[in-house]
Amino acid sequence: MATETLTLGKAINRGLRRALEHDPKVVIMGEDVGKLGGVFRITDGLQKDFGENRVIDTPLAESGIIGTAVGLSIRGYRPICEIQFDGFVYPAYDQIVSQVAKMHYRSQGKVRVPMVIRIPFGGGIGAVEHHSESPEAYFAHTAGLKVVACSSPQDAYTMIQQAVASDDPIVFLEPKRRYHEKGQVDLDAPLGDAYPLHAARVVRPGRDATLLAYGPMVRTAMEAASAAEEDGRDLEVIDLRTLSPLDLGPVYESVKRTGRCVVVHEAPGNLGLGSEIAARITEECFYSLEAPVLRVTGFDTPYPAARLEEDYLPNLDRVLDGVDRTFGW
Amino acid sequence: MAKGDPAGTARGRRATPRSARSGGKSPGTDLVQLLTPEGDRIDKVTWSDGTEYSVDFTDEEYRGLYRDLVLVRRLDAEATALQRQGELGIWASLLGQEAAQVGSGRALRPQDMAFPTYREHGVLYCRGIDPIMPLGLFRGVDLGGWDPNEFKFNMYTIVIGAQTLHATGYAMGVNMDGRTGTDDGEAVIAYFGDGASAQGDVNEAFIWSAVFNAPVVFFCQNNQYAISEPLERQTRIPLYQRAAGFGFPGVRVDGNDVLATYAVTRAALDNARHGQGPTLIEAYTYRMGAHTTTDDPTRYRIASEVEAWQAKDPIARVKAFLTRQGIADDAFLAEVEEQAKQEALRLRERVLEMPDPEPLTLFDNVFPNGSPEVDAQREFTARYLDSFEGSVH
Ligand SMILES: Cc1ncc(C[n+]2csc(CCOP(=O)(O)OP(=O)(O)O)c2C)c(N)n1
C-alpha cells in the first residue's frame, strides 16, 4: 500500500493526474489551469506532462467553459471544468442548470454529458467579495445534477477520480480553506474498492448527539466533538459527502440512536441543505427525536467583508452553542 | 457605419500580441500616440476613420498630469507595501497603467459616470475620492466605502465584465432622460481588461449599447494578461477591431501615453454626449507587477518582456518632455516627490488605524426595507455575543 502524506489540494492534483492517465478522453479546462497550474495550483504540472490539448487554458468566460464542455461531452470527451472561485460560477449558471442538468433527460437517455465541474467553495480565507460563497443549494436543487463535497485528502483523491469516471454530470465542491491541510492518502488502492462516491460516512462514532457536516465544516464538527467530550458529551460526526442525492440512511440510523441532531453548513440557513435534511429527519425519525433538528449555518446576509467572516461563519463556539441548545431542549 | 470602418485598415494583420510578447515592439501604426517613450511630442494623429487627436494643454495642466501620475504610482506602491506587511488581504496594483487611468480619468467631466473594475485606483483618484477607500475593500473592513452617486464613480466590480452592462443600462437611462445631444450632456465610461473582453456580458454590452445608441465609452485596458493568460487566449484580432463587428467605432491608443489616452477618451466621451453612441477604446499597455499580490508572474512571463515595457514607462516620458521643454524644473519635480511621499505616509497611518467593523454590522443594509428573518438573526447573534464574558460589540 503506497500511502503518502498529502495536502488536500495536492491529493486532488494526484487524482486528476490519475484520471488523465487512465482515460485519454479526459480533458481539464478552465482559466489559468495550464501554465499557472490554477490560482490554487490544483492543476500544477499537468499541462506540462499532458499537453495543451488535455489541459486547456480557456478564454476568461465561464458560460463558455461550461457550454463548450457540453459540446465536448457530446463528442465523447470527459471534461473536468475548473471554476476559479465559487462566486464566478454564476455566469455559467444557465449552462449548468438549463443544459448540463437536462441533456440526459430530454434526450431520453441518448445524450450524456459526463463532466465534472470543480468549484473551490466556502470562506475563511480572508478574501475579497465573491471569493467565499457556498452555492451548493442552487445546484442541489436542480434535478439532473449530482453534487458532492470532499473534506479530507483521501476522499479528495478518490472522489475526484470517481466523479470523472461517472457518466453523471457532477458539481465537485472543494473546501478551499482546507486545501493546505494534510492527511494520509493511499495512492494505489483500486478505485473499485474505494468508498462509494454517493455515500455519507460516519467519521466519528458517538452516542449522545449527531453532528452533520460536509466540506470545510467537517473539521470544525470534529473539533466540536472533541471539545464536547470535555463536557461529557459523546458526539457522532457524519460527513455527508454527497449533497445531491443525499445519503440519509446512515443519518437516520444515527439519529435514531442519539435522538439529537445538529446540521452545520457555511451557506445561509434559509432554504439551505440543512432545511431539507431537518425536514427529512423529522419525517423519518420523529419518534426518536429528543429535540428538533437544529441548524448552525451562515446568516441570511450576503457574504460579508473579510474582517466580519469570523462572525458570519459557523465556528467551534457556534457549533458548540448549537450542541448546547439541542441538549437544553 | 457612421464613423467609418476602423477594421478596414487592419484587415489581414496579425494579432499584435505575438509581436508584443516577443520583445515588446510597438504595435505599429494602429495606435494613437502623442508622446513617444523618449518624451517627444507628436502634434496630432489622424486615426484611420479620419478622426484627429491632439491636446492643447497649458504648462500648468501638463504639470498637473505629471503630479497625478506620480501620486497615483506612489499611493499604489504604498498599498502594495501595506499588503506585504499584512495590513491588506490582497492588493491589485495598477503599476504601469497610470497613464491609461489618469488620461481617461482626467478626460471625464463632473457629470460623467464611471463604472470601474477592481484596479482603477488612478481613475478613482481623479474622481476626487479619498484614496483610502479601496484599501478598506482590500483590507476586508468593508465592500467599498465611497458613495457612487456622489462621486459618479460606481463601486469596484470583481466579477469580470459585469459592469459593462451596468454602464450600458445607465447610459440608456441618460438617453431616456434626454441628457445627450448638447455640450453639457452626460457620458458614461466602463473600464475592463483584455480578459474581460471574452465574457458574454461584455459582448452583450456591446450589442445593447449599439442597438440603443447608448452614450457609453468602453475603455479596455489591454495590459496583455488575464492573470496568467496572454492576450491570444482571449482574442485573435486586435481588440479595438471588435467594435466594427458590433457597429461602432474602435480605436487603439498608447495606454502608456497620458496625453493620447486623454485625447482619445475626451473625443469618445464627447461623441457619446452628443448622441453619437458608443466607442471602444483599447488602451494598449502593460501590467508591470503581479496580477495581484497573490500571483507569481514568473510562471508565465519572461523578464525581457517586462524590461521591454519598462522602456515605455508612462511617467518617465512625461518627465523627459516636461524638463526638456522647461515646463518643469528640479524644484517642481522635488516638490511633487515630497507631496507623494507625504500622501503615502498619511495613507499608511490611516490604514493602520482603520478599525475592524462591529460584528453586528454584518446584518446592516441587507434590505432597504428590512427583513424579519435578518432582524431575528441579528438579535440572536447579539444575545449570543453577550453570552461571552467581557464581550464588547
Ligand atoms: C467572472 C469571473 N471569473 C474569474 C474571475 C477571477 N479573475 C479575477 S481577475 C481575472 C483576470 C482578469 O483579466 P483582465 O480582464 O484582463 O483584467 P486585468 O486584471 O488584467 O486588469 C480573473 C480570471 C473573476 N474575478 N470573475
Grid coordinates representing B238 are: 486586435
Contacts of A308 in chain B (CB under 8 A): 356-357, 359, 361-362
Say yes or no to pLDDT of B4 above 60.
no
What pLDDT, on a 0 to 100 scale, did the predictor assign at position B60?
A: 98
**Chain A interface mutation, best of B21, B90, B117, B160, highest count of A Cβ atoms under 10 Å:** B160
B300 in Cβ contact with A34 (< 8 Å): no
Buried b (16+ CB within 10 A) or exposed e, B329-355: eeeebeebeeebeeebeebbeebeebe
Say yes or no to pLDDT of A212 above 90.
yes
Partner-chain contact B371 A312, CB within 8 Å = no
Helix A217-230 and helix A316-327: axis angle, to 10°?
60
What pLDDT, on a 0 to 100 scale, did the predictor assign at position B29?
A: 64
Say yes or no to pLDDT of B192 above 80.
yes
Closest Cα partner for B278 from B177, B184, B188?
B188
Say yes or no to pLDDT of A264 above 90.
yes
CA of B196 to the centre of ligand 1 (A): 7
Task: List, for residues B339-361, the tens digit of each pLDDT value.
Answer: 999 999 999 999 999 999 999 99
- Strand pairing of A3-7 and B45-46? unpaired
Q: How far is CA B103 from the centre of its chain?
A: 10
Residue A201, phi then psi, degrees to nearest 5: -140, 135
Distance, CA of B153 to CA of B109 (rounded, Å)? 12
Partner-chain contact A307 B228, CB within 8 Å = no
Average pLDDT over residues A164-178: 98
Angle at A66 between CA A60 and CA A71, to 5 degrees: 120
Average pLDDT over residues B33-42: 98
Q: Give the number of other CB atoms < 10 A from CB of residue A26.
A: 23
Partner-chain contact B228 A130, CB within 8 Å = no
Residue nearest to atom 6 of ligand 1 (CA): A84
B residues 267-306 closer than 8 Å to A (CB):
294, 296, 299-300
Distance, CA of B293 to CA of B105 (rounded, Å)? 25
Contacts of A309 in chain B (CB under 8 A): 140
Task: List, for residues A95-124, the tens digit of each pLDDT value.
Answer: 999 999 999 999 999 999 999 999 999 999
Distance, CA of B287 to CA of A97 (rounded, Å)? 36
What pLDDT, on a 0 to 100 scale, did the predictor assign at position B392?
A: 57
Q: Work out the minimum CA distance from B298 to partner chain A, whole angstroms.
A: 9
What are the catalytic residues of B?
A: 287, 291, 300
Q: Give the number of other CB atoms < 10 A from CB of residue B303.
A: 9
Selecting from A34, A39, A311 the residue whose C-beta is nearest the C-beta of B362 gives A311
Partner-chain contact A63 B381, CB within 8 Å = no
**Per-residue confidence band for B26, with pLDDT thresholds at 50, 70 and 90:** very low
Contacts of B137 in chain A (CB under 8 A): 128-129, 305
Distances (CA, A) of B128 to A304, B82, B148, B314: 27, 22, 12, 22
Residue to mutate (ligand 1; options B91, B93, B97, B160; most atoms within 8 A of CB) = B160
Say yes or no to pLDDT of A292 above 90.
yes
What pLDDT, on a 0 to 100 scale, did the predictor assign at position B22?
A: 37
Average pLDDT over residues A269-284: 98
Q: Work out the minimum CA distance from B356 to partner chain A, whole angstroms.
A: 6
Taking the CA atoms of A233, A236, A237 and A242 in sequence, report the sign of the dihedral they define.
Answer: negative
Distances (CA, A) of A54 to A15, A42, A173, A191, B204: 15, 15, 22, 22, 30
Say yes or no to pLDDT of B103 above 90.
yes
Chain B: residue whose CA lies nearest to A32: B228
**Chain A interface mutation, best of B163, B231, B377, B385, highest count of A Cβ atoms under 10 Å:** B377
With H, G, I as helix, E, B as strand and everything else as coil, classify residue A160. helix
What pLDDT, on a 0 to 100 scale, did the predictor assign at position B9?
A: 37
Residue nearest to atom 20 of ligand 1 (CA): B226
What pLDDT, on a 0 to 100 scale, did the predictor assign at position B50?
A: 94
Q: Give the number of other CB atoms < 10 A from CB of residue A82.
A: 26
Q: Work out the minimum CA distance from A164 to partner chain B, whole angstroms.
A: 26
Residue to mutate (ligand 1; options A29, A65, A81, A88; most atoms within 8 A of CB) = A88
What pLDDT, on a 0 to 100 scale, did the predictor assign at position B49?
A: 93
Residue with cell 427525536: A289
**Per-residue confidence band for B23, with pLDDT thresholds at 50, 70 and 90:** very low
Distance, CA of B255 to CA of A228 (rounded, Å)? 60
Distance, CA of B263 to CA of B302 (rounded, Å)? 32
Say yes or no to pLDDT of B20 above 90.
no
**pTM of the model as a whole:** 0.94
Angle at B195 between CA A50 and CA B246, to 5 degrees: 120
**Per-residue confidence band for A82, with pLDDT thresholds at 50, 70 and 90:** very high
Amino acid at B246: F
Selecting from A64, A126, A311 the residue whose C-beta is nearest the C-beta of B198 gives A64
Q: Give the number of other CB atoms < 10 A from CB of residue A49.
A: 11
**Higher-pLDDT residue of A232, B9:** A232
What are the catalytic residues of A?
A: 131
Average pLDDT over residues A165-178: 98
Residue A203, phi then psi, degrees to nearest 5: -100, -10
- Provide residues of A within 8 Å CB-CB of chain B: 31-32, 34-37, 39, 57-61, 63-64, 87-88, 90-91, 126-131, 270, 299-302, 304-309, 311-312, 317-318, 321
Whether this model's ipTM surpasses 0.85 comes out as: yes
What pLDDT, on a 0 to 100 scale, did the predictor assign at position B391?
A: 60
Selecting from A60, A301, A305 the residue whose C-beta is nearest the C-beta of B196 gives A60
Say yes or no to pLDDT of A64 above 70.
yes
**Which residues lie closer than 8 Å to B96 by C-beta, 6 or more apart?**
B223, B256, B285, B286, B287, B288, B289, B309, B313, B314
Q: Give the number of other CB atoms < 10 A from CB of residue B147.
A: 12
Average pLDDT over residues A127-138: 98
Distance, CA of A59 to CA of B228 (rounded, Å)? 11
What pLDDT, on a 0 to 100 scale, did the predictor assign at position A1?
A: 67
* For chain B, percent of residues with pLDDT exceeding 90: 91
E runs forming strands in A38-77: 55-57
Grid coordinates representing A313 are: 461563519
Contacts of A299 in chain B (CB under 8 A): 362-363, 374, 377, 381
Cβ burial, residue A283 (10 Å; 0-12/13-18/19+): exposed
Amino acid at B387: S
Q: Work out the minimum CA distance from B352 to partner chain A, whole angstroms.
A: 14
Task: List, for residues B47-74, the tens digit of each pLDDT value.
Answer: 999 999 999 999 999 999 999 999 999 9
Grid coordinates representing A62 are: 465561464
Taking the CA atoms of B254, B256, B260 and B261 in sequence, report the sign of the dihedral they define.
Answer: positive
What pLDDT, on a 0 to 100 scale, did the predictor assign at position B14?
A: 34
**Does residue B95 belong to the interface with chain A, where contact is any CB pair within 8 Å?**
no
Average pLDDT, chain B: 92
Grid coordinates representing B15 are: 494579432
B residues 235-264 closer than 8 Å to A (CB):
none
Q: Work out the minimum CA distance from B105 to partner chain A, whole angstroms.
A: 25
Say yes or no to pLDDT of B24 above 50.
no
Partner-chain contact B362 A299, CB within 8 Å = yes
